[in-house]
């Protein structure tokens, strides 16, 4: 892609469906394509679910980000919509580690096609604790990047406890709210606010997912030159270095175009050509 943008995107207007400041990282990155941006700041993305659990998410992460993008198109006159959605939970490969999966979707109403960038990281600030004193609250806050990372206080330890306050970034307000809460309830739940504009760590992860989206929408099919030529399948079978037995590690990647269906096999970028014997079921059963 040249500095003048990409011919499929340059000069087009895209609406970014966010009320939590995600345009701060999305627009500068995708601006390299030549897209222009409209920010749907009055667009209520909380209707699709909130991290504070006031409103439950109705579908999974990918269904939700699609719903956001479609609703942003309806809100705007743009022909392209960009939306993002995050989730927190156990890492898929290392379940004892918490992880944050962020997806950023571009929906092109001109063609009906969608492009999704994503990233999964264990660098996340999903944390909560039960507090019974101001000391407990201050200890948790200091360990979790407060005040840059905002906090949420709940009126008890259960998931059904009501939100007493969220978006807390002022130390004096935190003290006052903790004292107020503990005068009414024996314990409170204190958690990190996961909304993007109040969570710099999550915002950085959204930026990484946006870079993945940028890679996808500026990678053209070698056959029809349409954007979005990307990996659709990974084939296992990388041979063991010691015995040659196929392992569960990736041997080949399959790339495909969603326009003309052109497919291409390739070795993964910067990947080894043989597997460590420690990953071999025969050498290390």
Kindly give the pairing relationship between strand 113-121 and strand 13-16.
Answer: unpaired
Nearest to 169 by CA among 198, 139, 204, 203: 198
Q: In terms of C-beta density within 10 A (0-12 exposed, 13-18 middle, 19 or more buried), how is residue 265 classed?
A: exposed
pLDDT in tens, the chain (285 residues): 445 689 999 999 999 999 889 999 999 999 999 999 998 777 777 777 677 777 677 778 999 999 999 999 998 989 999 999 999 888 877 777 889 999 999 999 999 999 999 999 999 888 999 999 999 999 999 999 999 999 999 998 877 789 999 999 999 999 999 999 999 999 999 999 999 999 999 999 999 999 999 999 999 999 999 999 999 999 999 999 999 999 999 999 999 999 999 999 998 888 888 999 999 999 987
> The pTM is what?
0.89
Nearest to 198 by CA among 50, 40, 91, 74: 50
In eight-state DSSP terms, residue 157 is: S
User: Helix, strand, coil: what percent of the chain each, to 5?
Assistant: 25, 30, 45
Q: Is the dihedral of CA 138, 143, 147, 149 positive or negative?
A: negative
In eight-state DSSP terms, residue 198 is: G
Cβ–Cβ < 8 Å for 45, 53: no
């Amino acid at each position: 892609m040249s500095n003048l943008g990409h011919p499929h995107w340059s000069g087009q207007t895209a609406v970014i469906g966010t009320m939590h400041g995600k345009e701060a990282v999305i627009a500068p990155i995708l601006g390299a394509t030549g897209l222009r941006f409209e920010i749907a700041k009055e667009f209520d993305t909380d209707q699709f679910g909130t991290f504070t659990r006031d409103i439950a998410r109705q579908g999974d992460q990918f269904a939700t980000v699609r719903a956001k993008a479609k609703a942003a198109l309806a809100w705007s006159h743009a022909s392209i919509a960009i939306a993002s959605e995050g989730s927190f939970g156990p890492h898929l490969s290392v379940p004892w580690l918490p992880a944050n999966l962020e997806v950023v979707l571009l929906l092109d109403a001109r063609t009906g096609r969608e492009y999704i960038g994503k990233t999964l990281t264990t660098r996340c600030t999903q944390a909560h604790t039960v507090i019974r004193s101001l000391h407990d609250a201050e200890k948790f806050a200091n360990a979790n990047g407060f005040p840059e990372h905002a906090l949420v206080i709940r009126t008890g330890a259960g998931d059904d406890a009501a939100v007493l306050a969220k978006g807390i970034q002022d130390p004096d307000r935190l003290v006052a709210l903790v004292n107020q809460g503990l005068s009414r309830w024996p314990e409170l739940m204190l958690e990190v606010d996961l909304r993007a504009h109040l969570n710099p760590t999550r915002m950085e992860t959204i930026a990484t997912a946006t870079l993945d989206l940028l890679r996808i929408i500026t990678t053209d099919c070698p056959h029809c030159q349409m954007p979005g030529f990307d990996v659709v399948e990974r084939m296992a079978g990388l041979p063991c270095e010691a015995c040659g037995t196929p392992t569960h590690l990736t041997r080949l990647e399959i790339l495909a175009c969603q326009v003309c269906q052109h497919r291409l096999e390739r070795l993964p970028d910067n990947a080894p050509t043989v597997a460590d014997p420690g990953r071999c079921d025969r050498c290390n059963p």
